[in-house]
């Protein structure tokens, strides 16, 4: 399985850009949300806890090993570090993780409703419906264990009563998925005001399923 793309410095720069872009596009608000990426040496760079994205710099990022031991940085890593590390430890084809409380995704998470795969792009880039992981307490190892189980064959999962988690080969990939899922959640929410959602034909989903597996490297 191919490792992460780029040098450690390039990956850190991309992670910081993605975190700040998520704020600019309202995917995150305030200091909510957290971001991580695998480095070439197998360690993980994470955003710090409770620090404004607007003023965050590369020096604020924290590097941990997969056992959550801090190796670089003077700040505390995100309180959701276990969530990120569990996903990265479980799947060697995942190199970046985003957790956010995107508005429409969180509406689905609060009502424990999956986001249906009624749009072709969702099959191609997410791998199917966006499921809802069972509720566990914020920041707990139980939450990390529960949520990480769902991204084995999907690029996104809703966290019950919490928000959204997406994975990708790079931070920008994970951001692309997060934006797609949030837009899809908004479209599905709006379409339901007009009538019943019509599912994609099974034949369409069967044709597109291999594309996701190819992109994921499965």
Report pLDDT digits (tens) over 26-44.
999 988 999 999 999 999 9
pLDDT at site 80? 96
Euclidean distance between the first and final Cα of the chain, in Å?
Answer: 9
Asked if residue 216 lies in contact with residue 154, where contact means CB atoms within 8 angstroms, the answer is: no
Mean pLDDT by 10 residues, the chain (218 residues): 87 98 94 96 96 95 97 94 98 96 98 97 97 96 97 97 97 98 98 95 92 87
Spatial strand order of the sheet with 70-72 comes to 70-72, 62-64, 44-46, 34-38, 96-100, 163-168, 156-159, 132-133
Alpha carbon of residue 141 to chain centroid: 17
For the entire predicted model, the pTM comes to: 0.96
Alpha-carbon separation of residue 101 from 40, 75, 158 (angstroms): 29, 23, 10
CA distance 99 to 174: 10
User: Which one, of 170, 160, 161, lies nearest residue 215 by Cα?
Assistant: 170
CA distance 73 to 62: 5
**Domains by residue range for the chain, with CATH:** 8-216 (3.40.225.10)
Asked if residue 173 lies in contact with residue 94, where contact means CB atoms within 8 angstroms, the answer is: no
Number of other CB atoms surrounding residue 27 within 10 Å: 23
pLDDT at site 2? 76
pLDDT at site 49? 94
pLDDT at site 1? 63
In sequence order, which residues have a C-beta less than 8 Å from that of residue 62 and are 6 or more positions away? 45, 46, 47, 48, 70, 72, 73, 75, 76, 77
In the chain, alpha helices (H): 8-24, 81-90, 103-110, 120-125, 141-148, 171-194, 202-216
Alpha-carbon separation of residue 99 from 90, 187, 207 (angstroms): 17, 21, 30
Torsion, CA 129, CA 157, CA 194, CA 111, rounded to 10 = 120
């Amino acid at each position: 399985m191919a490792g992460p793309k780029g040098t450690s410095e390039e990956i850190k720069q991309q992670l910081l850009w993605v975190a700040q872009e998520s704020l600019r596009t309202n995917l995150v608000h305030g200091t909510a949300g957290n971001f991580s990426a695998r480095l070439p040496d197998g360690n993980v760079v994470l955003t710090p806890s409770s620090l404004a994205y607007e003023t965050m710099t590369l020096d604020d990022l924290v590097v941990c090993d997969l056992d959550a031991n801090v190796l670089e940085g003077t700040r505390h890593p995100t309180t959701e570090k276990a969530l990120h590390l569990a996903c990265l430890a479980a799947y060697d084809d995942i190199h970046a993780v985003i957790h956010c409380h995107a508005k429409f995704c969180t509406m689905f998470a609060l009502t424990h409703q999956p986001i249906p795969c009624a749009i072709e792009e969702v099959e191609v880039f997410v791998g199917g419906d966006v499921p809802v992981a069972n509720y566990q307490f914020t920041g707990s190892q139980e939450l990390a264990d529960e949520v990480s189980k769902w991204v084995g064959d999907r690029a996104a999962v809703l966290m019950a009563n919490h928000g959204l988690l997406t994975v990708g080969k790079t931070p920008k990939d994970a951001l692309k998925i997060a934006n797609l899922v949030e837009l899809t959640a908004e479209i599905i929410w709006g379409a339901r005001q007009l009538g019943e959602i019509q599912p994609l034909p099974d034949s369409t989903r069967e044709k597109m399923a291999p594309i996701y597996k190819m992109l994921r490297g499965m």
